[in-house]
Amino acid sequence: MHFLNHIFLIVFICFSYTKCVDISVKDLKVEYLVNPLAVDVAEPRLQWTLEATDPQKHSLSQKAYQILVSSDEQSLAKNVGNLWDTGKVASDLTNHIHYKGKTLNAGQIVYWKVKVWDQEDKESTFSTVAYWGKGLNTWTGQWIGAPNGLQHEAQKQLKDIDQKVVQSHQGLLPVLYMRKQYSTPSTTKVKSAILYATAQGVYKVWINNMLVSDQKMNPGWTDFRKTINYQSYDVTNLITGKDTAISVLLGTGWYSGYIGFSRQYKLYGADQSLLVELHVQYEDNTTAVIKSDNTWKVSTGSILYSDMLHGQLSYENLEPKNWRFLNFDDSKWAQVVARPTDKNVALVADSGVPIRVTQEIKPIAKWQSKPGIWVFDFGQNSVGWIRLKKPAGAQTRVQLRYAEVLNPDGSIYTLNLRSALATDTYVFTDSSENTVEPDFTFHGYRYVEISGYPGEPQLTDLTARVIHSDTPLKSRLETSNPLVNKLISNIRWGQRSNFISVPTDCPQRDERLGWMGDAEIFVHTASYNGDVAAFYTKWMRDVVDGQSAEGGFSDVAPRMVDPADGAPAWGDAGVIVPYTVYKMFGDLQMVSNHYEPMNKWMTYIGSQNPDYMWTKRLNNNFGDWLQVNADTPKEVMNTAYYGYDALLMSRMAAALNRPEDVKKYTDLHQNIANAFNKAFVNSTDGRIKGDTQTGYVIALAFELLPEKLRPLAANHLADNIKAHNWHLTTGFIGVGYLCPTLTQFGHHDVAYKLLLQETYPSWGYSINNNATTIWERWDGWTKEKGFQNPGMNSFNHYSLGSVGRWLWQSVAGIDNNGNGVAFKDILISPKPGANLYNLTASYHSINGQIDNSWVTNGTHIKFNALIPVNTRATIDVTFIRNETVHSNVGSGSYQFIGELNKHYDQVINELIF
C-alpha cells in the first residue's frame, strides 16, 4: 500500500523570474450568483474557488487574499479598488466574505477581482473581473394593469369559441399584451441599460422585438401578499437607435392563475399587473428612467389563456401582427390603468435562481392510440413543454395533451393529473411554417398525445423543452450497476422537475406546492446534487413569510392551502433546511437571518407541550406519510422531531456563539430524550413503541437513545428489515434517515440490500416498472393492482429519493468531518460493497471539487481521492487490508491499492460478487 504522496514525481516548470504560485482563482460569485445585477443585501458575500496550477502537487492552500472593488472597470484594470481594497488579508477563507467597502448607491454596478497568496506566500495573478449591482431602494414606476372591461371582453370572445373549457374553468384569463415606445432624450450612445421588472402575475419582456432574457416564469412564486421578487437584466445591447419599443406579455402565473388543488385561482389578486423601470445611462453621462405608468398601452391577443395547471390556448388569427416592433400602431389599444402600490409588500431583488430551458429531448417512439390521435414517447418523465413544428398551410386546431404514464392500450393516462387539464391548444390560421410553444405554463410528462395535426406528425416535429430553476447541477455519481445508476438518474430528474421557483412536491397534477415535509427530507440530497444554496435562500424567505403570528411554520411555503400551521416534520423544515444549508454550504448568514423565526417555532411547540412530548399543536399531523403497512405511532414520530429540532438548534446556537442558547437547547434535547425514552422505549431491550423501521431510525438518527440501547435498537431495525424479507416499510419521513442510520450503526450490508432490492416495495421495483423519476408512492403502480388511487398518485415526487444523500455520504464516502461545514474539513470514507465494481463520484462543494473513485474485482481494490486546494481531509481506507485512517491530509490526489479486508469481503460476497 502506498500513498501516492510519497511516490509522486513532481515536475513543475515555472517560466517566471519569481517563484511560481501554485494556485489560481476561479468562479467568482456574489451571494452564490454569477454577476448578479441587483443584490439587496447590505453586505453581500463574495466567494471564489481555487485551483491547483499543477494537479500533482499536494497540500496547497491560501494563506492570504486581496479583494479590490471599484466603481469602474478602468480603475480596476489599474489595480485600484476605489470602493474597497482589503489589502493583504491573512485568511484561508474563500467564501462568505462580507463586502465592507463604501456604501453603494441604488442601482450602482461595481466591479471586483481577487488575488491570493499560496501556502508559501507566493502571489497569484488577479482573477478575471466580475461584477454585481446594488438593488433599487425605491421605485418610481407604477403598477399597471388592464382596465376592467378588457379581460372580460376577451373572455367573452373565448366563450364563443371555446365554450367547454370556459364553462369548467371560469378563472382562465387572457394574457395581456403591453407596450410602450419612447424616444431617447439624448443623442449620444447608450453606455449601459438595466431593466428592472416584476409582476403580479408572470411576464416576458422584449426590447425592439428582442427577448431580454432566456429566463422563464418570472418573477416566480413568493407569498405575493408579503414579498415580490424583481428581476434585473442587462439590456445595453438591445437599445440601439433613438427609438425604443418595450413590449410585455403578462400572464396570470401563481398570482391569479389556477394554483394548488382543483378550483383555486386568483389567490393573491384578481388582475395581473406589471412594474418596470428601465435605467439608461448614456455615454455623455446623462441618464434616463423609462418606467411603467399610465402612458403604456394594453390589449389582448392570440393567447386566450396560459395557465400553469391547465395549459395554453392560442388563436393565431388574434395575434396583433408585429406588435413588438418599433412603430407598431397601438392607437386602438386601451390605455393601462395605474394601480396603487401596496406599501406592505416588500419588493426584493430576486436572490434565487432563474428558471431556464436546460435541455431539449427528442421523442424516441410514436404510435396511434386511435386513428389520427398520435402518442409520442420522450423516454423520460420531465417538466416543461413541447415546441411544435407547425406545417406550412396548416389551418387547423392542434391539441397536445401531456401525461406521465400510459393505459394498457397505449393511450395516455391522465386521471392522476386530477383537475389539471395540462393541454396546449393552437388554432392555426395562417400559412407560415413555424414553431410554436406555450408561454406561461409547464407540464410534468413523458408522453404527449397530439390530435388535429395535419397528416402524420414526425418524431422531428416535437421537441421537449425541459425547464427548472437553473441551479448548477454539476456533481456526478456513477457506478457499474445499471440499477443504481438509474436510481441516481431518477433522483436527479426528481430534483430538476420539482425545483421550479420553489421546491415542490410534484410538477404535474393540480397541486405543485412547496410542501415543507418533502423539502425537509430532500434538502440534503439536493445539496449534494448541485449548488442549491441560492435557491433555498430565496425559499427560506417564503417559509418565514408563511410563519403565523403564534410562530407556526406552515405545511407549504409559500403558505396558501390551509389555514392550519405546519404538521410535525413539515413545519420543522423551517429549522432543518437552514441547518442543512449551513452544514453543506457554510451559510451562517441564513442561520442568523432566520434564528428568531426558528426560536419562535420552538416556543410555539414548547409552550403547549411542557412535558416535552409533542402531543399538541399537531395540525395536519401527517405522520410517516405513505409508509407501507407500518404506521409509526404519531406521538413517537412527533416527539422525536421535536427532539431533533432542539438538537439542531443547539448546534446552530453554538455556530452563532450563543452559549446560553446552546445550554437551553441541549437541555431541551435531553429533556425530550428522557421523556421519549420513558414513554416509548423499553429500557432493557431497546424496543420502541410501534416497532417500526421509521421509529428506530429516527430515534437513532435524532440522538434520543442512551448509548447502551443504541446497538439494540439498531439490531431491531435490521431484524425488522430482515423480517420483511429485506424490504423497507418507511414512508416519506423514515426513508430519508434509513440507510444513513443503518450504515452508522454497523448494518451497511443491510442498507446495500435495500438499495439493490427489486421486489415491492423498493426503488428497484419502480425502476423495473419503467420509472424514470421517483414515484410518490412505493405502489404507484403494481403488477397485481395496476395504478394506485388517482386521487394521489404522482410519478414525479422527490421525497422517496432522499436516499441520494446516503449514496454520496456513505457509498461514495464524501462528507463533512465531524462538526465541519462546507467541506473545508472533509471526511472521505467510502464503503465499497454490493456489485459496485466501479464508482466515480465528483462533488462540487463550495470549497472545491472532491473526486472519489474506485475499481474492484471483489477481492482487490484501487481507490482514488482528489482533495481540493485549501481544504483538509481525513481519509478512511480501512476497507483495505492493513490500511488505516489518514488524518488531516492536505489537498491533492491520493491513491490506495490493496486487498479488501475481511469485513468488506463478506459484505461483497454476500451481495453478488
- Cβ proximity to ligand RAM: between 759 and 789 the closer is 789
- Measured from the CB of residue 418, what is the shortest distance to ligand RAM in angstroms? 10
Residues 518-557 that bind ligand RAM (CB under 6 A): 518
Binding mask 235-274 for ligand RAM (x = CB under 6 A): ----------------------------------------
d(CA 471, CA 278): 27
- Measured from the CB of residue 798, what is the shortest distance to ligand RAM in angstroms? 9
- Cβ proximity to ligand RAM: between 46 and 573 the closer is 573
- Measured from the CB of residue 799, what is the shortest distance to ligand RAM in angstroms? 6
Q: Residue 204: is it exposed, middle or buried by C-beta count within 10 angstroms (0-12/13-18/19+)?
A: buried
- Cβ proximity to ligand RAM: between 440 and 515 the closer is 515
Which residues 6+ apart lie within 8 Å of 358 measured at CB?
Answer: 466, 467, 468, 470, 496
The cell 416497532 sits on which residue?
691
d(CA 851, CA 845): 10
Stretch that binds ligand RAM, among 309-317, 330-338, 504-512, 709-717 (CB under 6 A): 504-512
Peptide bond into 832 cis (omega under 30): no
- Phi, psi (5° rounding) for residue 666? -65, -45
Which residues 6+ apart lie within 8 Å of 687 measured at CB?
Answer: 681, 713, 716
- Measured from the CB of residue 316, what is the shortest distance to ligand RAM in angstroms? 37
Applying CB under 6 A, among 506, 526, 598, 800 the residue interacting with ligand RAM is: 506
Stretch that binds ligand RAM, among 159-167, 416-424, 511-519, 901-909 (CB under 6 A): 511-519
Question: By three-state DSSP, how is residue 402 classified?
Answer: strand
Q: Give one DSSP letter per residue of 350-362, joined into a string.
A: --S--EEEEEEE-
Binding mask 615-644 for ligand RAM (x = CB under 6 A): -------x--x-------------------
- Cβ proximity to ligand RAM: between 449 and 518 the closer is 518
Nine-digit cell at 829? 470514507
Residues 70-89 that bind ligand RAM (CB under 6 A): none
Q: Indicate the residue whose CB is closest to ligand RAM.
A: 505
- Measured from the CB of residue 569, what is the shortest distance to ligand RAM in angstroms? 9
CB distance 30 to 39 below 8 Å: yes
Indicate the pairing of strand 176-183 with strand 346-349.
Answer: unpaired
Q: How many angstroms from the chain centroid is the CA of residue 113?
A: 28
- Cβ proximity to ligand RAM: between 521 and 880 the closer is 521
d(CA 8, CA 136): 54
d(CA 28, CA 840): 27
- Cβ proximity to ligand RAM: between 118 and 518 the closer is 518
- Phi, psi (5° rounding) for residue 904? -70, -35
Stretch that binds ligand RAM, among 246-254, 289-297, 510-518, 862-870 (CB under 6 A): 510-518
- Cβ proximity to ligand RAM: between 426 and 553 the closer is 553
Residues 430-489 that bind ligand RAM (CB under 6 A): none
Stretch that binds ligand RAM, among 179-187, 398-406, 503-511, 599-607 (CB under 6 A): 503-511
d(CA 894, CA 891): 9
Query: Taking the CB of residue 909, how many other CB atoms lie within 10 A of it?
Result: 12
Q: Give one DSSP letter per residue of 849-905, joined into a string.
A: EEEEEEEE-SSEEEEEEEEPTT-EEEEE-TTBTT--EEEEE-SEEEEEEEEB-HHHH
514 binds ligand RAM (CB under 6 A): no
- Measured from the CB of residue 622, what is the shortest distance to ligand RAM in angstroms? 5
H/E stretch holding 732 reads helix 732-744
- The DSSP 8-state label assigned to residue 59 in this structure reads S
- Cβ proximity to ligand RAM: between 180 and 797 the closer is 797
505 binds ligand RAM (CB under 6 A): yes
Which residues 6+ apart lie within 8 Å of 277 measured at CB?
Answer: 136, 139, 140, 141, 195, 196, 197, 289, 290, 291, 292
- The DSSP 8-state label assigned to residue 107 in this structure reads T
- Cβ proximity to ligand RAM: between 318 and 573 the closer is 573
Query: Taking the CB of residue 688, how many other CB atoms lie within 10 A of it?
Result: 28
- Measured from the CB of residue 642, what is the shortest distance to ligand RAM in angstroms? 19
- Measured from the CB of residue 482, what is the shortest distance to ligand RAM in angstroms? 28
Stretch that binds ligand RAM, among 269-277, 411-419, 505-513, 698-706 (CB under 6 A): 505-513
Nine-digit cell at 766? 419502480
- Measured from the CB of residue 792, what is the shortest distance to ligand RAM in angstroms? 6
d(CA 302, CA 269): 23
What are the distances in angstroms from CA 576 to CA 573, 675, 744?
A: 5, 22, 20
Nine-digit cell at 717? 431495525
State the maximum Cα–Cα separation within the chain, in Å, rounded to a whole number: 87
- Cβ proximity to ligand RAM: between 234 and 631 the closer is 631
- Phi, psi (5° rounding) for residue 285? 70, 5
- Cβ proximity to ligand RAM: between 330 and 505 the closer is 505
Would residue 635 show up in a list of annotated catalytic residues for this protein?
no
Applying CB under 6 A, among 315, 376, 493, 515 the residue interacting with ligand RAM is: 515
Residue from 58, 10, 11, 120 nearest 886 by CA: 58
- Cβ proximity to ligand RAM: between 135 and 801 the closer is 801
Residue from 180, 334, 178, 336 nearest 243 by CA: 180
Stretch that binds ligand RAM, among 481-489, 509-517, 605-613, 878-886 (CB under 6 A): 509-517
Stretch that binds ligand RAM, among 204-212, 273-281, 512-520, 888-896 (CB under 6 A): 512-520
d(CA 860, CA 879): 10
Binding mask 314-353 for ligand RAM (x = CB under 6 A): ----------------------------------------
- Measured from the CB of residue 171, what is the shortest distance to ligand RAM in angstroms? 21
d(CA 374, CA 366): 7
Size of the site for ligand RAM (CB under 6 A): 10
CB distance 672 to 643 below 8 Å: yes
Catalytic residue among 520, 635, 776, 883: 776
- Measured from the CB of residue 90, what is the shortest distance to ligand RAM in angstroms? 48
- Measured from the CB of residue 38, what is the shortest distance to ligand RAM in angstroms? 33
Stretch that binds ligand RAM, among 241-249, 513-521, 605-613, 889-897 (CB under 6 A): 513-521
Residues 778-807 that bind ligand RAM (CB under 6 A): 792, 797
Applying CB under 6 A, among 81, 201, 444, 517 the residue interacting with ligand RAM is: 517
Residues in the chain: 913
Q: How many angstroms from the chain centroid is the CA of residue 583?
A: 17
Catalytic residue among 277, 404, 511, 883: 511
Binding mask 738-777 for ligand RAM (x = CB under 6 A): ----------------------------------------
Nine-digit cell at 369? 392510440
- Cβ proximity to ligand RAM: between 162 and 520 the closer is 520
d(CA 774, CA 770): 11
- Measured from the CB of residue 698, what is the shortest distance to ligand RAM in angstroms? 17
Would residue 776 show up in a list of annotated catalytic residues for this protein?
yes
Indicate the pairing of strand 287-291 with strand 334-335.
Answer: unpaired
The residues binding ligand RAM (CB under 6 A) are: 505-506, 511, 515, 517-518, 622, 625, 792, 797
Q: Which residues are catalytic?
A: 511, 776
